[in-house]
Amino acid sequence: MVKKTHLALIFGGDSSEHDVSKRSAHNIYDAMDKDKYDISLFLITKDGIILDDDASHRVFNGEPEDKVVDEVSKDLDFSDPLAPIKNLSKTKNIDVFFPIVHGNLGEDGTIQGLLRLLHKPYVGSGILESAMGFDKDITKKMLTLANVRNTNYHLITPDNKDDFSYAKLQAEFGDVIFLKPANQGSSVGIHKVTNEKEFEDGLADAFRYDYKILAEQSINGPEELEISILGNEHPIASQVGAIKVPEGDKFYTYDNKFVDASQVQFEIPVNIPEKLSDEITDMALRGYKALGLKGMARIDFLVSKDGTPYLGEVNTLPGFTNISLYPQLWNASGISYTELIDRLIDLAYKEFDRRNNIIHDFKPLS
């Protein structure tokens, strides 16, 4: 009998995407081939406590998370600074991790650093690559260096915010400006502003989520297109899909994505000219490689009315909910949900081996 792979799903987290992460984990769990995998669960609570497999399964199976957390917290000695992560001591027999912690502390390299310390393979990009992909400012700088088209922007921080006003940005970028926290996901903290009051209110709200805010030029009548990438050194791209948000919505919001997508239309694959599809695919693959990403990413594009594509954002741990585009795009491209998970786990092992070979084969010059 072939030994099963012992895989651990680590999900939840203290970001605004906590509940989305739980739903992604459910979908991955349900889609996994149980003849191939034994699966352990590690739920990170909103307070940053990592629950063990038993407590995580209780939440997974419908018990109120707050109730479970209150019960298990009684046994933790919080005078020990390692108390919140004590349950990771039970990872000895785990072969590979699948982190699905969306947003802060999950996509920014934090979880990846912890798993590196545990010396365990894990799905997705490494520490630096995750951090660069999560930070919209650094992403855009890397894309620009690689000659991958993206939108113009100014970076606003608490130190320079008095240098910017709506009128000043309007003179350079036009009437519509987007404000985006540099380190945040799922459209949280994003504001489309068209006057000074909206600018001031939007900036104040955006600063709740990060100290770096992008004031970004808008694209004329953009169409939102998405593409999924899979692979390490030699990534492949899915077909291109489109998102049609409800009329009157300003952009693809958090609610559109995760709360009520009933009015959102997905066109997968999207009917666009072959030349445009080829350009988006090329830009996505070049951007993926420029950031050094591994495993997977969903890459978002904006296409202007004149047919010019701009690479918008990179998502290194994309959603796996019922309405998430990453698995949908691969399914439309001939890779099922279950096969996609198998491939991601295989890529995790290959990247782990590559890193270890670099370290173990190192010989100093004589």
Catalytic positions, written as ranges: 17, 186, 324
Report residue 73 as tokens.
């917290």
315 is in an annotated binding site: yes
CA–CA gap between residue 189 and residue 209 (Å, rounded):
7
- Among 225, 230, 231, smallest CA distance to 266 is for 225
H or E, element range at 301: strand 295-303
State the pairing for strand pair 223-231/236-244. antiparallel
Question: Under a CB-based contact definition with an 8 Å cutoff, are residues 164 and 207 in contact?
Answer: no
State the pairing for strand pair 177-181/191-193. antiparallel
H or E, element range at 220: none
Angle, alpha carbons 181-185-187 (nearest 5°): 75
State the pairing for strand pair 5-12/96-100. parallel
Is the bond preceding residue 222 a cis peptide, omega within 30 degrees?
no
At position 311, the amino acid (one-letter code) is L
Longest C-alpha distance within the chain, in Å?
A: 70
Question: Under a CB-based contact definition with an 8 Å cutoff, are residues 9 and 98 in contact?
Answer: yes
300 is in an annotated binding site: yes
Question: Under a CB-based contact definition with an 8 Å cutoff, are residues 170 and 177 in contact?
Answer: yes
The end-to-end CA distance of the chain, in Å, is 48
Residue with tokens 């047919």: 307
Residue with tokens 């739980």: 22
- Annotated binding-site members: 300, 313, 315
- Annotated binding-site members for Mg(2+): 300, 313, 315
